Amino acid sequence: MPIDSRLQTFETTWVPRLNAPLADAIATDSGDARLAEAMSYSVLAGGKRLRPLLTVATMQTLGAPFDDQRDWRPVMALELLHTYSLIHDDLPAMDNDALRRGEPTNHMKFGAGMATLAGDGLLTLAFQWLTATDLPATTQAALVQALAVAAGPHGMVAGQAKDVQNEHVDLPMAQLRVLHREKTGALLHYAVQAGLILAGAPQTQWAPYLQFADAFGLAFQIYDDILDVVSTPAELGKATQKDAGEAKNTYPGKLGLVGANQALIQTIAQGQAALQAVPASVDTELLAAFFSYFDTKRVK
């Protein structure tokens, strides 16, 4: 499906605005030039800025203004943390990937030691950025707590651990869903949660937004699994067909391509249904438009 025009307009407006201060901000907050270069290399290597865009879209949906001085660092903290996870995931001790977004991975350019430190720097700088702001202390604390849970041993790191341990193990589908919810879904869940926190939305109103986020996170992982099978390395900017070669648990591996695509369609429908539970006075079309990232017609 083509990307929704509303989402295209949103991206055209916000991606440059989010990207513009990045290089200077990372350099300012780094005490070593080579380390700053390695950190910036991966952060600035491309990417859709999907996670901070989800945060901003959630704020806009709830009518919350975005103040560049107050909100930019807390919103972009998630992109730093996400990039750290990619750098470490690419390392020889993990997936040992040579390409990311069509360019050499961090360790291929800077060596495994500096790449590890670049990831460490981005991880810790993310939490610094959550508190380098005039936001109320209660808001800062809520963001730090939520991101620590999403990224840590109860979230993304737990999912990565399960992924490493279960290569060549045929996981039941229920366990695969848990792995994906932690490894991929946790940071996307947080992206929407951060928007709710920054907008000051009462927790009693959070449920449908977070159900949307969880459906989006699962759809993202299913689609990524599908693309690994049907895309070329040039299209993805990284090696393809690796999941099957490493005997990883994937939706196409368990359900076949057609079954995985059907699961994707069903998951998108669940996310759209979640947004329909939001009060009618709230315009959720921008959030719904994020599902247009997934081309359900790639599989015939």
Give per-residue pLDDT as tens, 147-201: 999 999 999 999 999 998 988 889 999 999 999 999 999 999 999 999 999 999 9
pLDDT band at 66 (very low <50, low <70, confident <90, very high): very high
Q: What is the pLDDT of residues 186-195, one digit of tens each?
A: 999 999 999 9
C-alpha angle with apex 162: 168 to 53, nearest 5 degrees? 120
pLDDT computed for residue 238 by the predictor: 63
Q: Which two tokens stand for residue 151?
A: 């990224």
CB atoms within 10 A of CB 237: 15
Arithmetic mean of pLDDT, 7-15: 96
pTM: 0.94
Q: How many helices (H) and strands (E) does the chain have?
A: 16, 2
Give CA–CA dist 207/278, Å, rounded: 9
Q: What is the pLDDT of residues 210-235, one digit of tens each?
A: 999 999 999 999 999 999 999 877 76
Element (DSSP H or E) covering residue 99 = strand 99-100
pLDDT computed for residue 46 by the predictor: 84
Q: What is the pLDDT of residues 74-117, one digit of tens each?
A: 999 999 999 999 999 999 999 899 999 889 999 999 999 999 99
CB atoms within 10 A of CB 22: 17
Taking only Cα atoms into account, the Rg of the chain, rounded to an integer number of angstroms, comes to: 19
Q: Which two tokens stand for residue 263?
A: 């699961």
Full set of structural domains in the chain with CATH = 3-293 (1.10.600.10)
Amino acid at position 254, single letter: K
Arithmetic mean of pLDDT, 118-123: 98
pLDDT band at 282 (very low <50, low <70, confident <90, very high): very high
Give CA–CA dist 286/58, Å, rounded: 9
Give CA–CA dist 287/275, Å, rounded: 8
Would you list the DSSP string of 215-231?
A: HHHHHHHHHHHHHHHHS
